[in-house]
Structure 1
């Protein structure tokens, strides 16, 4: 369907998932946390959990939501301004912004830009390059599926941190091999393999975890505004990459990847050394871990008080 006559129909295919969601979402239950914490509807929340989880982890989820509701104590939902200005969620906000921006600034779109050129240099016929792109898409899908199985075993912090670090290392190697692509005939094939490796690292780590961060880092009162910030950052960064990347390529050529290497390494260092792990913890425990960072410069007594206050928010 990739022809001048058929591309409008190809574009229309993207509407099928939207139609399916429109039809199927009304059949799904409301969010259990929303029902339990915001609406105080315990029975509906329990039914929603049973529909989603059956009997697995049902008691643990109910206990977790009870602790979160107790800590909230009737507090109203927070606005975007509250999330951006409140000290008690400062580190959560940083932990949200850096990976969400990294979805666009990690260089994955830059690789798509260079992919056709690398394929041509490897001797792949132009009428067959789309098969390699299908392979990249399949790699992305398989890796994302693998991420869903690993996320609860490895933990969010490790998947994102080491995912960004691995992307930085592979793109550094790719920058070198692209600079010396004419020395040997097999180097372009190495570049193809590196593109697949970066795609796999991206899908298993950053892509598979980042979009779920607002639900992992914020209590119910803060969560809706956190999702707004997350989506805004993602689309704003996509706009910036789309507008500026062609100028960066024109100025730096294959060395444009070094900009993305710097961001991925910075993101990896931040996530691995400064961000608490959320694996196996309740939302209140996660908030308490972050409050140790949010209030680390205060005295012991003040810090203890602020931790309690922050948790109730």
Structure 2
């Protein structure tokens, strides 16, 4: 058994926290992203029936499509709002309490979903999707912060991967429950959309028994006793004195420095490379082409000869592939390192995008080419799940010190949701104009992010935020700043976090 897995098994409370936070955290995001495909025809029918019953108007196809697109896209608007709220909520309420309160948003949204068909109201589905978006936007940040702060330093990368694992699990469960043998039927589809409420209820019942983040208690609340008590519950009989010393060192460095806003993070020159890393990696996460690959997977599977009524079952393979690779990354990340996995992922995805463009272009000319495309799709998902998906979401909490963490997660979440919304609006146009060659646009973002990770980002494995900040300074400060007449600029190459006040 790998050493890091053995260490994790020595912390059973951390294992419980991983599952409880995941099922009511990023699972909600993954589930909401994938669940709308199966009941789309039933929801469009409800839109038409509602308008006929209420107004006596039978909508045209383009009008139904417009309402449907808005219903799907409003999830991103709610997610953006949630990510903007996450920073202040996690800083003022605490990570655990923020997660607890966030569950009520999902439960209320689920109630609207369950009642929408009974009362003939598609507006309730829109409102429920908006609330699910808020829940997911807050949940991604709060879930990631809570887990990475509860995990031992040596296991932080491994625990961080579980954030992406539950996204993949949510996508797969959404696909699975959506098949016609389960909840993807005309009678049961409201229960399919309301499933988020049950996972939120599960977290609401179990999470109160877990401790608050020790890092938050000590560095933000200044409660040494509560932090020590939380660490004792999370670590058990393991010696955690070194962790306490590192947190006290960071507390001393951050003495009298309040949590910074996103604007202050953007304006602060001492964390410019951490800021650029967050911007580049979170932008590439949405624009790396994974959504395009999933979109084309149905065409590829159809061209490979899979019957139309079996496509949904075949597509389950893509979700299962992403989930399996994410679980495997959970085991190898501590031995491989986050930087290596991210760089290999983007370079591998770049190569596959080129090959996939070629095979899709030739699939109507060569009979066996669709099978090559199918293999490439699964390889692409492998590189995505083991690289960007496994490493990006938890990155702000590792490369930023405590006073910047909330702002970093807010910025990352904002970029993520904005990218998802823009891609959802523009992707159909890109496909129509560029067809298979749209992959070359995503190739650009993969190459840019891969190069940035290779040359501008240090390894984060087994390092504290202060040590990582020192590595950033070592990589990018060439000594020129120390020659400036302005003392503040001359101090930019020193990692004294208490000098980061604006």
TM range (shorter): over 0.9
Q: Distance in 2 between matches of 1:294 and 1:311?
A: 17
CA apart distance, 1:213: 0.8
In structure 2, the CA distance between the partners of 1:225 and 1:233, relative to structure 1 (3 Å rule), is same
In structure 2, the CA distance between the partners of 1:53 and 1:97, relative to structure 1 (3 Å rule), is farther
* Residue matched to 2:418: 236
* Residue matched to 2:497: 311
* Residue matched to 2:465: 283
Q: Distance in 2 between matches of 1:68 and 1:251?
A: 52
In structure 2, the CA distance between the partners of 1:140 and 1:50, relative to structure 1 (3 Å rule), is farther
> Which residue of 393, 398, 413 corresponds with 1:216?
398
Q: Summarize the alignment of residues 73-88 of structure 1 with structure 2, pairs less than 5 Å apart.
A: 73-88=255-270
> Which residue of 201, 212, 222 corresponds with 2:383?
201
Q: Distance in 2 between matches of 1:284 and 1:309?
A: 7
Structure number with higher relative contact order (C-alpha < 8 Å, ≥ 6 residues apart): 1
* Residue matched to 1:127: 309
* Residue matched to 2:185: 3
* Structure 1 residue ranges without an equivalent (≥5): none
In structure 2, the CA distance between the partners of 1:108 and 1:88, relative to structure 1 (3 Å rule), is same
Q: Distance in 2 between matches of 1:147 and 1:214?
A: 19
* Structure 2 residue ranges without an equivalent (≥5): 1-182
8 Å contact from structure 2 (residues 469, 495) kept in 1 = no
* Residue matched to 1:255: 437
Q: For 2:403, what is the secondary structure of its paired residue?
A: coil
> Which residue of 427, 430, 433 corresponds with 1:245?
427
Q: Distance in 1 between matches of 2:254 and 2:471?
A: 17
Q: Distance in 2 between matches of 1:243 and 1:297?
A: 45
| Residue 161 in structure 1 maps to residue 347 in structure 2 | no
The worse-fitting range, judged by mean Cα deviation, of 111-120 and 35-44 is: 35-44
Q: Distance in 1 between matches of 2:355 and 2:479?
A: 40
RMSD: 1.9
Offset from partner CA, 1:247-306 (integer Å, 9 cap, x none): 111111001011111111111111011111111222211111223456446344667733
The worse-fitting range, judged by mean Cα deviation, of 280-289 and 84-93 is: 280-289
* Residue matched to 1:267: 449
Offset from partner CA, 1:9-62 (integer Å, 9 cap, x none): 211123322222222222221111111112222232122223223344623322
> Which residue of 270, 282, 291 corresponds with 1:109?
291
The worse-fitting range, judged by mean Cα deviation, of 234-243 and 202-211 is: 202-211
* Residue matched to 2:271: 89
Q: Summarize the alignment of residues 162-177 of structure 1 with structure 2, pairs less than 5 Å apart.
A: 162-177=344-359
Number of residue-to-residue matches in the alignment:
313
Q: Distance in 2 between matches of 1:70 and 1:77?
A: 15
8 Å contact from structure 1 (residues 88, 294) kept in 2 = no
CA apart distance, 1:69: 1.1
Offset from partner CA, 1:214-272 (integer Å, 9 cap, x none): 11011001111111111111100000100001111111100101111111111111101
* Residue matched to 1:139: 321
TM-score, normalization by structure 2: 0.59
In structure 2, the CA distance between the partners of 1:59 and 1:153, relative to structure 1 (3 Å rule), is farther
Q: For 2:387, what is the secondary structure of its paired residue?
A: helix
TM-score, normalization by structure 1: 0.93
8 Å contact from structure 1 (residues 67, 284) kept in 2 = no
Q: Distance in 1 between matches of 2:401 and 2:245?
A: 15
The worse-fitting range, judged by mean Cα deviation, of 228-237 and 179-188 is: 179-188
